[in-house]
């Protein structure tokens, strides 16, 4: 289940407000996070369309990967925050694990064992950082728009 808040009501045509949604951490929340990101991007596109359609798709893919990682490696609730920056979109996913993400070996053909998500996030994002908190961590990514 998700709860949503937007900083200051409906976004204006000049300034898109921060978008924050909280999730319980269930498997359906990957889809919920993606749908929430899509809603934010649709609102943003009305006043500032992306430079290329691929930028929108990249953001949605990164949000899905971050949410999937949170569910797999940080049991419990997570928070998705999105905001417009001068040249792009800043996405933050806060979860309950204090362990920073790390690349895992990618082994094709091992029955869907993963290992490519963190590499994908680093490839698509202009900047990636992990900020530890006492009760978890925040993963910050910046993507072009």
Indicate the angle between helix axes 53-73 and 117-124, nearest 10 degrees. Answer: 150
- Give 30's pLDDT tier (boundaries 50, 70, 90): very high
Residue 63, pLDDT score: 98
SS3 51: coil
Q: Give the pLDDT confidence of 91-145 residue by residue, as tens digits.
A: 999 999 999 998 887 666 655 566 789 999 999 999 999 999 999 999 999 999 9
Q: Give the pLDDT confidence of 72-97 residue by residue, as tens digits.
A: 999 899 999 999 999 899 999 999 99
**19-97+113-144 fold:** Heat Shock Protein 90 (3.30.565)
In this structure, how many other beta carbons lie within 10 angstroms of the beta carbon of residue 87? 11
Give pTM, 2 decimals. 0.86
Domain boundaries of the chain, sorted by first residue? 19-97+113-144
Rounded to whole angstroms, how far apart are CA atoms 130 and 114? Answer: 21
Taking 70 as the threshold, does the pLDDT of residue 10 lie above it?
no
Distance set, CA 11 to CA 27, 50, 130 (Å):
29, 17, 28
């Amino acid at each position: 289940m998700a709860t949503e808040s937007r900083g200051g009501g409906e976004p204006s045509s000049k300034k898109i407000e921060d978008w924050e949604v909280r999730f319980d951490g269930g498997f359906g929340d990957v889809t919920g996070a993606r749908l929430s990101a899509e809603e934010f991007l649709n609102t943003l596109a009305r006043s500032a369309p992306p430079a290329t359609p691929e930028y929108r798709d990249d953001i949605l893919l990164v949000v899905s990967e971050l949410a999937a990682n949170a569910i797999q490696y940080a049991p419990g609730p997570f928070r998705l925050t999105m905001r417009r920056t001068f040249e792009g979109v800043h996405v933050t996913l806060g979860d309950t694990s204090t362990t920073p993400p790390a690349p895992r070996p990618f082994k094709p053909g091992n029955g869907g064992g993963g290992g490519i998500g963190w590499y994908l996030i680093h490839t698509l994002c202009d900047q990636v950082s992990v900020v530890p908190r006492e009760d978890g961590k925040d993963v910050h990514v910046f993507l072009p728009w």
